[in-house]
Amino acid sequence: MTMILPDGDRIQPIQVLETEYYTEGVVFDARGNLYFSETKPGRISILSPAGNCQVWAEVEGANGHKILPDGTHLVAAKSGVVQLNEDGSLLKVVADRFQDQPLIYPNDLTIDPQGGFYFTDSGDVDPNSPNGAVYYVDAAGELHQIAAEIAFANGIALTRNRDRLFVCESNRNRILVYAVKAPGRVEWLEAIDLPTKQGEQIDNKPDGICFDAAGNLFVAHYGMRQVQVLDAQGQIIRRYRSGNLTTSNCVFDGNFSLFVSGGIETEEGRGGIFRLDLAT
């Protein structure tokens, strides 16, 4: 099924949930449950299709989140990338060090259907210290650094045919694009610059990203109260109001609705989950 994206002015974000803290790491399981992270208190909550919400797991600095085919969960967190069971209990720490040095702050992940996964380590917040990096964990559990010197590495997404890897470089307001030559082996292609803040927008840092079925890239643009859509050529074709000012991440459900996490006003204030119904 192919969806024609509606014009931006036709879509009004619908608030699904208001939370005490800024939200991140939205992901759906096969039963339609929505998981989201609240980084500050270090917890992950689950919102059922019926609207019931409860804390699912306690993970310090929980951020990006993906679910593996076996039903276990990968979470990028302050202490490293951890694997959780379906009940939220800790199975193991998958990655917390590289070459005997601790990772700085794992941020987001994307799964490689060939058995491994990619994740970002943000590095320092200071824009003058570009020490963020991208890593690949192969099917055997070995950790490989595949890109470095990134000014706050953030959202990450692998295309459906696994030929390109997209990475948000937040402190330079751009998307980095790599050609995937083999699992865990990439080659630099280009950087796509994004719009800058205007008016009442407070920042312009691309955060989480995801693809739709047509290969368009949806970018949660922190500080701009927007989700921007890039086509396969890297051109912005839509801008949607996200509901959250500090938009952090986005994910599709099974019905062409985009769910967006972040902070309703600022990262220090209350968080929200909003839904954009794009199948108009």
Domains in the chain: boundaries = 14-277
Sign, Cα dihedral of 245, 56, 89, 118: negative
- pLDDT number for residue 129: 85
User: Which residue matches tokens 């030929």?
Assistant: 163
Number of separate helices (H) and strands (E) present in the chain: 0, 26
What proportion of the chain, given as a percentage, has pLDDT over 70?
Answer: 98
Residue 196 confidence (pLDDT) above 80: yes
Please determine, for residue 2, whether its predicted confidence score (pLDDT) is greater than 70: no
Q: Give residue-wise pLDDT tens across range 214-266.
A: 999 999 999 999 999 999 999 999 999 999 999 999 999 988 999 999 999 87
* Order of strands, sheet of 106-111, starting from the edge strand that comes earlier in the sequence: 106-111, 117-121, 132-137, 143-150
Rounded mean pLDDT of 159-165?
A: 96
CATH homologous superfamily of 14-277 equals TolB, C-terminal domain (2.120.10.30)
Selection from 234, 250, 253 nearest residue 242 by Cα: 250
Average pLDDT for 162-185: 97
How is residue 102 written in tokens? 């601790």
pLDDT at 274: 98
Q: What is the percent of the chain with per-residue pLDDT over 90, rounded to a whole number? A: 92
pLDDT (0 to 100) of residue 151: 97
Q: Is 112 helix (H, G, I), strand (E, B) or coil?
A: coil
In the structure, what pLDDT confidence band is assigned to residue 4 with cuts at 50, 70 and 90?
confident
The single-letter DSSP state of residue 138 is -
DSSP-based helix, strand, coil % in the chain, nearest 5: 0, 55, 45
Give the strand pairing for 257-263 and 271-277.
antiparallel
Q: Give the predicted TM-score (pTM) of the model.
A: 0.96
112-155 pLDDT per residue, tens: 998 999 999 999 988 888 999 999 999 999 999 999 999 999 99
CA angle, residues 244, 157, 65, in degrees to nearest 5:
65
In this structure, the chain runs to a length of 280
The full DSSP string for 23-58 is -EEEEE-TTSPEEEEETTTTEEEEE-TTS-EEEEEE
72 pLDDT more than 70: yes
